[in-house]
Amino acid sequence: MKENEYQIIEGGITAPQGFEAASHAAGIKYEGRDDMALIYTTTPAVSAGVYTQNVVKAAPVLWDRAITENESKVSAVIINSGIANACTGEPGMNICEQTAQAVASAVNGQKNQVLVASTGVIGMQIDVEKIVAGSKALLLKKQPTKEAGTQAAQAIMTTDTHKKEIAVTFELDGKSICLGAMCKGSGMIHPNMCTMLGFVTTDAAIEKKALQKALSTVVTDTFNMISVDGDTSTNDTLVVLANGNAGNTVITEDSAAYQTFEKILHMVCEYLAKQMAGDGEGATALVEATVMNAKCKEDARLMAKSIICSSLTKAAIFGHDANFGRILCAMGYSGAIFDQNKVEMYYESNAGRILIFNNGVAADYSEEEATKILSEPEVRILADMHEGDATATAWGCDLSYDYVKINADYRS
Amino acid sequence: MKENEYQIIEGGITAPQGFEAASHAAGIKYEGRDDMALIYTTTPAVSAGVYTQNVVKAAPVLWDRAITENESKVSAVIINSGIANACTGEPGMNICEQTAQAVASAVNGQKNQVLVASTGVIGMQIDVEKIVAGSKALLLKKQPTKEAGTQAAQAIMTTDTHKKEIAVTFELDGKSICLGAMCKGSGMIHPNMCTMLGFVTTDAAIEKKALQKALSTVVTDTFNMISVDGDTSTNDTLVVLANGNAGNTVITEDSAAYQTFEKILHMVCEYLAKQMAGDGEGATALVEATVMNAKCKEDARLMAKSIICSSLTKAAIFGHDANFGRILCAMGYSGAIFDQNKVEMYYESNAGRILIFNNGVAADYSEEEATKILSEPEVRILADMHEGDATATAWGCDLSYDYVKINADYRS
């Protein structure tokens, strides 16, 4: 997609017309910070969602899936951080229902127009009074402002070190369309369908079927290609709401506008996915692995993802150590079949690019130069397989002392 | 197997009759320590081997597999630590051949009677003069003593903190049979067929086909059920040598003695596998996960292994934090299908046993008591699925700061 076809603007979920947001300190688990957020659309929106493939699904995942899979439109999303409402049995499902009912009653709507999402500790029960009171407070505070969107993006953070949001505008049949988005995710990140919690809002008019198709398509090469620690969460949720306020001709799967919409959505999701990978728990570097000229797309994906998942590769990058054998090893156990003698491998960053492996043996590279390249905050690993024309990219982060520290102490 | 059917004795690979060993400081990569080891059998032995399933196989894996898969008997195994001879192309294969040829010439044998094994950094070339000189020195130093076996077990260590060896005697048709074994492994441990380097010697008389069957069978529930970091090595090798010196009736697949032999081999392999898991890089605890009453054996294996592979679970155990949600999460993304509401889960160690999850929700347990249980050097996680009668156990370790430290600095 050419850069002059779209424009990145400031803001996030409230950038599209008709969307409002709010955040609130409900004391679900954290003290002294906002821990609930609301996304609200003045015009009920068409929705699409992708959710964790983990057999153990959190209650909100079950609740939202039932809604986004049917034809009802969505008016609001209530999100809390601190407690994940996962492994909480029937009481956990009741929390979802009572939260949605409280919101629906306040806006004269139906409970199946309200999505809920939770992130935090697994196994703890949420206090229903706190989340219901928090939901009502959010409805009173909601605003269409940029600040309200940003505060919502902050309220959903757990171990994230910074908020993750983006807004993009582009044109479709003479109408200006806007996409806004926010997400959170830092640990337990190895999405299988999508990531921890991600929300995209748009004022585009689009058919539900086309929206779900676009979302499912872009997730494969964006959120599903990142990993922080190989742990696929119980709560992974990515939802898109499209309220049609832009007034464009309704996008269908067959319309020319569909391709444009999908490309913009891909760009937005890739941006958020990279933000999450780079903000992995304890991370000092974003690691991007691109496998090119592989036999087929699936092999390229397997190898790229295996590289960024390898604990040993991640630790080596934390140590700025050009230990390329660990990368080849990770490609080798990925499940893809290849000829190691054809592999040509490079390290690359803003400090330069260096050939490290070729013709089945180590290249004659300078360790000093490699260390310099690996000391940058964004490091790329490029593997040219010379066996076909398929390419895939995956994103992860290094493995640091702080990952251990954060996760040894997380609940305390 | 009842304990009175066998006896664990002191020693390792030299315990069986006819086996000798040696170690030597060849300066392959380390300075000031032995880095080469020899296993020698005065009577050429029947051999069996299992090797890494990684597509990127180290040169010694290719060399050994070609030998153990055919009918030739084995006289010697040459092992070096420091450099793995992996990702070394044609020069790497030449190293194997020249090493084997040097040993064969010195003992009037054939090069295809000599196995080689390497462990250490991937991608570096071994100096052929050093390894050939080292091999000759080993032949001059070889001894049938317990000490020689122990020194060999020490020489093959890399980041291991202690040697791993065991010897067992048992009776077959009135003859005393002995099995000795040693292994090494601490990082890049996620065997897929078998582990880093493991060697079992026995004076039992056994057909090659029966030996390979026994080895392949026991590996599934022993070495293939451990993981330190999810990285399946390029060098995983487990070899058994049986020289027949005990004089028992040759064991065949159909003989009653086969079951006894397989049980003893299982016990030896389980012992070594647990030793490796507990000595995982940076580990402060051995973690044992048992999944019982699962629908089928494969599901039980998937779930047990997923638990001990989860970075978040490992970090929680390092922090003595009873964060059981991470365990359920790991079971959930293992690939097995189950009903979370039927799961009954316990923590257990020498400090006690505690129910932590039941009926789909957290049990009413004491965090203080859980922390006490998790502070022991051996921690067990028990998950009763209540869905069938299949059981599997997997072994791993916690994830500590030292894992990161060791692997960020490994080559320097």
**pLDDT tens digits for range A78-104:** 999 999 998 899 999 999 999 999 999
Buried residues in A92-104 as b, exposed as e (16+ CB within 10 A): beebbbbbbebbb
Asked whether residue A34 falls in the same domain as residue A126, the answer is yes
Question: How many other CB atoms are found less than 10 A from the CB of residue B3?
Answer: 8
**pLDDT tens digits for range B193-250:** 334 688 899 999 999 999 999 999 998 888 888 876 666 777 888 888 999 999 999 9
Of A86, A336, A408, the CB nearest to B318: A408
A229: which chain B residues are within 8 Å (Cβ-Cβ)?
311-312
* A129 and B CB contact within 8 Å: no
Q: How many domains does chain A have?
A: 2
Buried residues in A167-200 as b, exposed as e (16+ CB within 10 A): bbbbebeeeebbbbbbbbbbbbbbbbbbbbbbbb
d(CA B163, CA B142): 19
**pLDDT tens digits for range A341-363:** 999 999 999 999 999 999 999 99
d(CA A40, CA A21): 6
Asked whether residue B111 falls in the same domain as residue B149, the answer is yes
Asked whether residue B297 falls in the same domain as residue B250, the answer is no
In this predicted structure, what is the pLDDT of residue B412? 45
B231: which chain A residues are within 8 Å (Cβ-Cβ)?
310-312, 326, 329-330, 333
Catalytic residue, from B158, B195, B232, B234: name it: B195
Q: Could you tell me the pLDDT band of residue B1, with boundaries at 50, 70 and 90?
A: low
Among the candidates B235, B256, B278, a domain finishes at B278
Cross-chain residue pair B409–A319, CB shorter than 8 Å: yes
* B361 and A CB contact within 8 Å: yes
Helix (H) or strand (E) holding B40: strand B36-51
CATH of the domain at A190: 3.60.70.12
* Residue A333 reports pLDDT greater than 90: no
Asked whether residue A108 falls in the same domain as residue A235, the answer is yes
Q: Could you tell me the pLDDT band of residue A391, with boundaries at 50, 70 and 90?
A: very high
In this predicted structure, what is the pLDDT of residue A229? 67
Asked whether residue A111 falls in the same domain as residue A239, the answer is yes
A361: which chain B residues are within 8 Å (Cβ-Cβ)?
87-89, 91, 123, 125
Asked whether residue A68 falls in the same domain as residue A89, the answer is yes
In this predicted structure, what is the pLDDT of residue A277? 86
CATH of the domain at B392: 3.10.20.340
Question: How many other CB atoms are found less than 10 A from the CB of residue B252?
Answer: 12
Q: Could you tell me the pLDDT band of residue B8, with boundaries at 50, 70 and 90?
A: very high
Cross-chain residue pair B325–A234, CB shorter than 8 Å: yes
In this predicted structure, what is the pLDDT of residue B193? 39
Cross-chain residue pair A404–B407, CB shorter than 8 Å: no
Percent of chain A exceeding pLDDT 90 equals 69
Among the candidates A231, A255, A278, a domain finishes at A278
In this predicted structure, what is the pLDDT of residue B121? 86
B316: which chain A residues are within 8 Å (Cβ-Cβ)?
407-408, 410
Average pLDDT over residues B315-334: 89
Task: For residue A344, give both structure tokens.
Answer: 């040509």
Q: Cα B114 from chain centroid?
A: 21
Q: Could you tell me the pLDDT band of residue B189, with boundaries at 50, 70 and 90?
A: low
The B residues from 62 to 91 touching A (CB cutoff 8 Å) are 84, 86-91
Residue B232 is a catalytic residue: no
Cross-chain residue pair A54–B329, CB shorter than 8 Å: yes
Asked whether residue B249 falls in the same domain as residue B298, the answer is no
Asked whether residue B195 falls in the same domain as residue B316, the answer is no
In this predicted structure, what is the pLDDT of residue B188? 61
Among the candidates B278, B299, B328, a domain finishes at B278
Q: Could you tell me the pLDDT band of residue A283, with boundaries at 50, 70 and 90?
A: confident
Catalytic residue, from A14, A119, A195, A201: name it: A195
The B residues from 298 to 327 touching A (CB cutoff 8 Å) are 309-312, 315-316, 318-319, 321, 323-326
d(CA A37, CA A24): 6
Q: Could you tell me the pLDDT band of residue A194, with boundaries at 50, 70 and 90?
A: very low
The A residues from 259 to 298 touching B (CB cutoff 8 Å) are none
* B35 and A CB contact within 8 Å: no
In this predicted structure, what is the pLDDT of residue A231? 67
**pLDDT tens digits for range B143-171:** 999 999 999 999 999 888 889 999 999 99
Asked whether residue B115 falls in the same domain as residue B260, the answer is yes
* Residue B71 reports pLDDT greater than 80: no
Asked whether residue B324 falls in the same domain as residue B399, the answer is yes
Asked whether residue B347 falls in the same domain as residue B301, the answer is yes
| Domain limits for position A402 | 286-409
**pLDDT tens digits for range A27-39:** 999 999 999 999 9
Q: Could you tell me the pLDDT band of residue A280, with boundaries at 50, 70 and 90?
A: confident
Strand ranges of the sheet holding B352-358, from the earlier edge strand across to the other edge: B361-362, B352-358, B344-349, B378-384, B286-294, B390-397
**pLDDT tens digits for range A151-168:** 999 999 988 888 999 999
Task: Examine the predicted complex and report whether its ipTM is higher than 0.85.
Answer: no
User: What is the pLDDT of chain B when averaged over all its residues?
Assistant: 90
Asked whether residue A121 falls in the same domain as residue A265, the answer is yes
CA angle A261/A228/A23 to nearest 5° reads 65
**Does the pTM of the predicted model rise above 0.95?**
no
